Amino acid sequence: MNKGKVYLVGAGPGDPGLITVRGLECLQAADVVVYDRLASPRLLRHVKPGAELVYVGKLPDRHTMKQEEINELLVDLALAGKTVTRLKGGDPTIFGRVGEEAGLLYDNGVEFEIVPGITSAIAVPAYAGIPVTHRDIASSLSIITGHESPDKLDRSIHWDKVTNATGTLLFLMGVAKIGYIAEQLIKHGKPPETPVALVRWGTRVEQETIVGTLATIETIVKEANFQPPAVIIVGEVVLQREKLRWYEKKPLFGMRVLVTRARAQASELADAIEALGGEPCEYPVIEVKEPVKAEALEAIRARLEEAEGYQWLMFTSVNGVEYFFRFLAQFGIDIRRFHSARIVAVGPKTAEALQQRGLLVEELPVKFHADSLLERIQDKLQAGEKALLPRGDLAREVLPAELAKRGVEAVEIDVYETVLANSVDQSALEFLESGGIHMVTFTSSSTVINLLEQLKRSGIEDPVKLLANIPIASIGPITSKTVRDAGLKVAVEAEASTIDSLLEAIQAFNIERRMT
């Protein structure tokens, strides 16, 4: 059997956007991904289908796997012919023990590649508004481990030389030793009033920063019960934070938002949350797929073949547009055969999907749901007309029923089916159970129903109880009713039933939350 290869990849400090292009390529190519807790779970969405995920993370009070065992695991996987990506937080060469892992790979004749990452030593201070160098303040820096016991620190660190060697001192993993570190720096010449900052979980939604001086920082850390992991910054650059704290000013900073949309549609909402400073946690609970039963496909074909007989084409979702055109292509039906039909849509995204295919809608409702669409076009409807409604199998019956009341024949075709997603995102489930989710978003009634069902299948006895204390954001009144009917409360509701409006409501909620 041919030997595999191991990529020792720096994942960056936490924000998944900080992984390098090369690191992402290695992640996508891997048969096995070996990762630790300092690598963002969101990076794992980039692995190829079927790739094995092995968690070897370390917590302050326990090790999932000892370093020696991790080293052996990488060798064993490679010797079994696997392409392995070892995903490590920060940069693997800066206190990442990559030398030990690579050394054993070399000893066993395994090919490897070290892929640098953005180290927390520079990224975390930057996200806290602290540049580690500054032309007028600090032209050099030192990166120092703070993780060892005091006696080991004294053996590995020459305090008399380090203290004043550079303008900025950066200690990694030194929260528990902050008092001793401050004491040694003062003892060896640093003024007690030297500014100090500690940044915990930097670049992540949990980012927290405290500031003091060498004389006061130990007391501040104890009073705040400030826990690792954190980067310690010592030097005048800390004072730049007052002007440069850009990340913490983003409107969704501090929020981890559960996104329950279908995976194919979740990226729009997830990307927007990320751009606004929040952390999207994707937990797709529905999947949208094409019908497969022969009778369902024949029914769709038959209704589409009646193209010339429709006076209205009514689209209520982007998926309806997408699958409608898929079936036109599949059955060889020219869109121009619908020349007698006036086209209307519910919502700007649905209208945009039609526009991308060269079709302009005649009407958009003021509020983006079917009830409002009827109000908009009711004066134009005439008894005896025929309307085609390409929809999903779970679409509400309000529109067809109201059209019938007006003498319009509503021809429904289920061009897509909405089903419960098979995959379960374990990290999202863990965040839910640990209180790490700050808001749950629902963009349709089916996402509400299916999330509760998915949680039950995952072993949660009472999903409503689990979600009861998490603020819920709903895209509109119909979805909100489903939330309430399920026994949950709606914290915010989009003014218009759109993703943009939903995001505006979430932003307003978070800004108010941070002010209280």
Q: Which residues are catalytic?
A: 36, 58, 173
SS3 state of residue 213: strand
Q: E strands of 27-160, at which residues?
A: 32-35, 52-55, 58-59, 62-63, 83-88, 111-115, 141-145
Question: Which string of DSSP letters, residue by residue, matches 244-308?
Answer: H--GGGSTTTT-EEEE-S-HHHHHHHHHHHHHTT-EEEE---EEEE----HHHHHHHHHHHTTGG
Amino acid at 389: L
- Residue 302 makes CB contacts below 8 A (sequence gap 6+) with none
Q: Given the DSSP bridges, would you call strands 58-59 and 62-63 parallel, antiparallel or unpaired? A: antiparallel
Give me the half-sphere count of Cα atoms (radius 13 Å) on the Cβ side of residue 156: 12
> What would the 3-class secondary structure string for 18-43 be?
HCCHHHHHHHHHCCEEEECCCCCHHH
Interatomic CA distance for residues 104 and 101, integer angstroms: 6
Tokens for 516, please give them.
């209280």
Tokens for 333, please give them.
């039906």
Q: Which ranges in 36-88 belong to alpha helices (H)?
A: 67-79
Q: Are 132 and 122 in contact (CB under 8 A)?
A: yes
Q: Are 219 and 182 in contact (CB under 8 A)?
A: no
Interatomic CA distance for residues 445 and 213, integer angstroms: 53
Strand order in the sheet with 5-10: 52-55, 32-35, 83-88, 5-10, 111-115
SS3 state of residue 99: helix
Amino acid at 403: L
In Å, what is the CA distance from 68 to each residue of 35, 98, 102, 103, 239?
15, 12, 12, 12, 41
Interatomic CA distance for residues 198 and 125, integer angstroms: 9
Q: Are 122 and 18 in contact (CB under 8 A)?
A: no
SS3 state of residue 378: coil
- H/E stretch holding 377 reads helix 370-377
Torsion (CA) 264, 266, 267, 269 in degrees, nearest 10? 150
